[in-house]
Amino acid sequence: MGGPLNGLKVVEMEGIGPGPFCAMVLADLGAEVLRIGREGKAQDPHDVLARGRKVLALNLRDADGCARALEFIGRADVLIEGFRPGVMERLGLGPDVCLARNPALVYGRMTGWGQSGPLARAAGHDINYIAISGALHAIGQAGQRPSVPLNYVGDFGGGAMLLAVGVLSALHEARSTGKGQVVDAAMSDGAALLSSMMYGLKASGRWSNERGENLLDGGAHFYDVYACADGKFLAVGAIEPQFYAEFRRLCGLAENPEFDPQMDSRWWPSLKVRLADLFLTRTREQWCALLEGTDACVAPVLDWDESVQHRHNVARGTFVRADGLTQPAPAPRFSNHALRVPGRPQAADEQDLLERWKAAREDMWETPS
């Protein structure tokens, strides 16, 4: 399919979570992604993360299966794998072997703890990886235990997205030098990187270790979620003075002096109570009719079904229906390429794919000496 990554050849070693998400993003942007899966394992027809792939089932515990995988790796631009450290080496597909076969290969490794360090070979999941970064501790209500932020922070934000940036950065270098390299993307590192602003605020004395006491963690009355009369919720984010003033004006609070000291955190708890009482006087729909789309910075908190139907998402085509599945559309948008949604994974024609990738390799840029 067309896209800014058209012509890029990616081998994905089938896994879970961040590896498939990274491969999906690359496929969405036009890369040709070959997923090497396990023999006998059926592809889930509801797995949105698998869209846009060709799939080749191989037994990598068998010498023939590894040899066939290496044929594609030798012709690929990028390899993505998400096994524990040492697994690819034991299969005979570690970086040394693959880079010897294909010196310009970008070898992307996605793990929780990274390829080195005392926890490198330990099991874990998103919640464990973000726990040591400070991110998990920071998320939650005051006086309560930390809240689990789904698996956005580790798997997808600190993991898959960082791997995609790393892979494309290394690819940029490989295209000018002819030399590939290993990209070591750890979710624990990525979660820490996502927390850069908070560490800066803490160093300046503007962020506390206590949950629910800070500007962006629900501590401020003007940056929180409030219940409405119908049990549904609104998200309020009126930070800047002009937006806060508009919020107060539309809510009938402009003449109330209690709300004047916006940034004085001593008043935040009592002002949150006042706003909580106010929002309970109308339904979410009634509040949205007054506030949504204004500079008051208020939006409805929508569930999965409501999000698909929201007028802004509909107008932008943020969600699409393809292959019987409602799913997020590829992002971001590019002015030179129409938005297209890759379809469900399809079985690869192994010989045809090998021949096309070989021809593309021969026609590609010459490797500098």
Which residues are annotated as catalytic? 125, 155
CA distances from 315 to 102, 139, 257, 285, 304 (A): 45, 32, 40, 19, 17
Q: What's 154's DSSP letter? A: I
In angstroms, the CA 231 to CA 134 distance is: 32
Cβ partners under 8 Å of residue 117, min gap 6: none
Q: How many CA atoms lie within 13 A of 98 on its CB side?
A: 31
Whole-number Å distance between alpha carbons of 290 and 286: 7
- Euclidean distance between CA atoms 32 and 7, whole angstroms: 7
CA–CA separation, 87 vs 76, rounded Å? 20
Q: Return the structure tokens found at 84.
A: 């524990």
- Nearest to 298, CA basis, from 263, 249, 331: 249
| Cα-to-chain-centroid distance, residue 351 | 34
In angstroms, the CA 194 to CA 158 distance is 7
Task: Report the side by side order of strands in the sheet with 346-347.
Answer: 181-186, 106-111, 78-81, 9-13, 32-38, 53-58, 346-347
Residue holding tokens 């491969």?
23
What are the strands, taking DSSP E only, across the chain?
Answer: 9-13, 32-38, 53-58, 78-81, 106-111, 181-186, 223-227, 233-237, 298-301, 319-322, 325-328, 346-347
- What is the Cα gyration radius of the chain? 24
